[in-house]
């Protein structure tokens, strides 16, 4: 499956976003294909600007359900900007504007009916550095569900999230200790547990292992492989070997453009584009 | 580090090219030793086999080292995989050349002229195939590589003809059977060299395109396997 960026004419440029106001107005042309059943995130001609600078240019991609999709590319290629656009984390940057169509399960992420808070509950995010709250391990995981009015058994929810994040056995006897007492790798898995406690549909991971040692990285990579049975994972990484190890599909971005998107084994053995070839073999970037 | 790695890959490619050149010379001399009575030619071929064996181990070690240290991907990975296989094929070609040279020591005077003519023709074809395969690897030239497949069919035909003639000759008379078996052995080894040359050609296609074209067509494992 190769998804080639395609130009969508008739787009309207976005206004500067605010937290509650959708930053762009998009038009769907009748001729555009319908969302395929296994695609969770779909971008059609998405361009994201910071003031006059286009960080992401005319990206068209379909991210499939229950698979790990890695986005690779050199620094400044727009991969994190694109990732953050998926759950509207870029809304907090005043100069950001977006055009084109970005949908989550067929719903326009930046449409007038889109609720950013609800969207982020469905599309969770794990950041580069582990960022646990200054609370106990238990409260870190329970917090999101509590403020969202969770009415079930909170202990069961916390245990399930910690188990899915493959950290339960390490913390089950110290749930009331501070999260800061954990190692970096454990903190990152705790943050993943915190994200999945909200029962999201999609997990966005922005360089989740860059602050971790090789052992902790291996644990997270194993975890990512397990997570895809329950969640769609989109992973941004500088580590090409990591992308090769954990992802089913890999997208290569360069200077804001999506150059190639294909099965990971194809990208890392016989990429179709010379720029992909040059990047993965370290000829540039 | 990337430039360093690229230089190491080029060094390795040149090393394999030198080894290929040595093997090509061995095949040439082995074929000559069948049809000529030049003194010492078979011994020369046999002696050079040690050099090829040593080089094969060194190339394989270097491929493993580069894979472990640099974890190559894309065309670099394909190059190292192709080298690993071509290296093995070249060593086997050298073994075939040695087998031919060993037979040649005894057969020249006893072999029938028509058999020698066929072996000579096979030798020319096989050397041509090997040269094209090696050249296509060195130049990474996919055009040259396709010639190898056509010539392989021709070599197979000549090999089958040789077997039929030996069977027919043997049915007519049992005289000179030892010499006939030497002819058969040489023909078999030439046919094997042609197969190795074909393997090399297939590896060059993999190197260039990533396609696995063994067994007549692309054979890919299913996702479920």
Contact B210 A241 (CB under 8 A): no
> Which CATH number does the domain housing residue B101 bear?
1.20.58.220
pLDDT (mean) for A164-184: 94
Select from A104, A101, A71 the least CA-distant residue to A261. Answer: A71
Domain coverage including residue B186 = 2-216
**b/e burial code for range B104-136 (CB count within 10 A of at least 16 → b):** beebbeebeeebbebbeebbebbbbbbbbbbbb
Cα-Cα-Cα-Cα dihedral sign, residues B116, B122, B126, B132: positive
Contact B74 A240 (CB under 8 A): no
Q: Chain B closest CA to A261's CA: distance in Å?
A: 15
Closest residue on chain B to A271 (Cα): B74
Domain count, chain B: 1
Identify whether the C-beta of residue B29 lies closer than 8 Å to the C-beta of residue B93: no
C-alpha torsion angle, residues B56, B57, B60, B65 (rounded to 10): -140
- CA angle B217-B221-B222, nearest 5°? 120
Chain B residues inside the 8 Å CB shell of A281: 2, 72-76
Determine how many CB atoms are found less than 10 A away from the CB of residue B98: 20
- For A260, the 3-state DSSP assignment is strand
Chain A residues inside the 8 Å CB shell of B78: 269-270
Q: Chain A closest CA to B70's CA: distance in Å?
A: 10
Q: Chain A closest CA to B2's CA: distance in Å?
A: 6
Identify whether the C-beta of residue A231 lies closer than 8 Å to the C-beta of residue A201: yes
What backbone phi and psi angles, to 5 degrees, belong to A6? Answer: -130, 145
Identify whether the C-beta of residue A76 lies closer than 8 Å to the C-beta of residue A110: no
pLDDT (mean) for B118-129: 94
- Sequence-separated (6 or more) residues with CB below 8 Å from residue B11: none
- For A28, the 3-state DSSP assignment is coil
Complex ipTM over 0.85: no
Was domain A39-280 assigned CATH 2.60.40.10?
no
Nearest beta carbon to residue A269 from set B2, B71, B210: B210
- CA angle A265-A266-A269, nearest 5°? 80
Closest residue on chain B to A276 (Cα): B74
How far, in Å, CA of B39 to CA of B33, rounded? 9
- The H-or-E segment that residue A25 falls in is none
Chain A residues inside the 8 Å CB shell of B223: none
User: Per mean pLDDT, which of A41-55, B30-44, B100-114, B177-191 is the most reliable?
Assistant: A41-55
pLDDT per position as a tens digit, B60-79: 999 999 999 999 999 999 99
pLDDT per position as a tens digit, B148-192: 788 888 999 999 999 999 888 888 877 778 888 899 999 999 999
Contact B73 A269 (CB under 8 A): yes
pLDDT (mean) for A75-91: 95
Nearest beta carbon to residue A271 from set B6, B71, B74: B74
Chain B residues inside the 8 Å CB shell of A268: 73-74, 77
pLDDT (mean) for A193-197: 93
Answer left, alpha or beta for residue A203, where phi above 0 means left and psi between -120 and 50 means alpha: beta
Contact B77 A271 (CB under 8 A): no
- The H-or-E segment that residue B17 falls in is helix B2-35
Please state at what angle helix A184-196 crosses helix A214-227, rounded to 10 degrees: 20
How far, in Å, CA of A15 to CA of B154, rounded? 71
pLDDT score, position B164: 92
Q: Where are the domains of chain A?
A: 39-280
Whether pTM exceeds 0.90: no
End-to-end C-alpha distance for chain B, whole angstroms = 37
Closest residue on chain A to B1 (Cα): A282
Identify whether the C-beta of residue A58 lies closer than 8 Å to the C-beta of residue A100: yes
Closest residue on chain A to B206 (Cα): A270
Chain A residues inside the 8 Å CB shell of B74: 268-271, 276-277, 280-281
Nearest beta carbon to residue A277 from set B1, B75, B209: B75
Residue B224 within any structural domain of the chain: no
Contact B74 A283 (CB under 8 A): no
Q: Which one-letter DSSP state was computed for residue A33?
A: P
Residue B75 within any structural domain of the chain: yes
Residue B26 within any structural domain of the chain: yes
Residue B99 within any structural domain of the chain: yes
Answer left, alpha or beta for residue A69, where phi above 0 means left and psi between -120 and 50 means alpha: beta
pLDDT (mean) for A68-87: 96
Closest residue on chain B to A275 (Cα): B74
């Amino acid at each position: 499956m190769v998804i080639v960026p395609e130009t969508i004419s008739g787009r309207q440029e976005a206004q500067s976003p605010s937290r509650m106001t959708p930053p762009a107005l998009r038009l769907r042309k009748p001729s555009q294909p319908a969302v395929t059943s296994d695609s969770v995130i779909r971008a059609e001609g998405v361009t994201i600007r910071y003031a006059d600078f286009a960080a992401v240019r005319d990206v068209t991609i379909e991210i499939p359900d229950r698979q790990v999709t890695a986005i690779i590319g050199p620094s400044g290629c727009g991969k994190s900007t694109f990732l953050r656009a998926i759950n509207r984390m870029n809304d907090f940057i005043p100069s950001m504007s977006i055009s084109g169509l970005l949908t989550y399960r067929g719903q326009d992420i930046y449409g007038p009916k889109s609720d950013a808070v609800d969207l982020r509950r469905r599309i969770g995010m794990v950041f580069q550095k582990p960022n646990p709250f200054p609370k106990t391990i238990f409260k870190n995981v329970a917090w999101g569900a509590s403020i969202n009015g969770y009415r079930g058994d909170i202990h069961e929810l916390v245990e399930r999230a910690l188990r899915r994040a493959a950290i339960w056995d390490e913390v089950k006897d110290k749930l009331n200790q501070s999260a800061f007492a954990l190692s970096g790798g454990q903190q990152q898995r705790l943050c993943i547990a915190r994200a999945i406690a909200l029962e999201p549909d999609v997990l966005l991971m922005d360089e989740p292992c860059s602050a971790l040692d090789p052992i902790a990285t291996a644990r997270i990579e194993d975890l990512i492989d397990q997570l895809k049975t329950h969640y769609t994972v989109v992973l941004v990484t500088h580590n090409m070997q990591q992308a090769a190890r954990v992802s089913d599909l890999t997208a290569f971005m360069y200077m804001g453009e999506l150059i190639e998107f294909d099965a990971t084994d194809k990208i890392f053995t016989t990429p179709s584009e010379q720029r992909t070839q040059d990047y993965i073999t370290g000829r540039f970037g | 580090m990337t430039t360093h790695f690229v230089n190491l890959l080029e060094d390795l490619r040149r090393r394999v090219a030198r080894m290929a050149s040595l093997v090509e010379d061995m095949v040439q001399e082995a074929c000559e030793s069948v049809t000529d009575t030049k003194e010492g030619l078979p011994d020369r071929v046999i002696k050079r086999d040690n050099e090829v064996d040593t080089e094969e181990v060194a190339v394989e070690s270097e491929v493993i080292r580069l894979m472990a240290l640099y974890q190559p991907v894309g065309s670099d990975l394909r190059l190292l995989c192709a080298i690993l296989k071509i290296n093995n094929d070249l060593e086997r070609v050298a073994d075939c050349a040695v087998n031919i040279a060993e037979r040649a020591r005894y057969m020249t005077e006893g072999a029938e002229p028509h058999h020698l003519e066929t072996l000579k023709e096979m030798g020319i074809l096989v050397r041509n195939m090997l040269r094209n395969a090696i050249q296509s690897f060195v130049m990474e030239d996919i055009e040259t590589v396709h010639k190898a497949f056509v010539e392989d069919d021709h070599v197979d035909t000549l090999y089958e003809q040789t077997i039929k003639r030996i069977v027919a000759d043997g049915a007519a008379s049992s005289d000179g059977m030892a010499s006939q078996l030497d002819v058969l052995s040489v023909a078999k080894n030439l046919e094997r060299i042609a197969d190795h040359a074909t393997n090399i050609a297939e590896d060059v296609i993999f190197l260039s395109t990533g396609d696995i074209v063994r067994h007549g067509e692309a054979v890919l494992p299913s996702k479920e396997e």
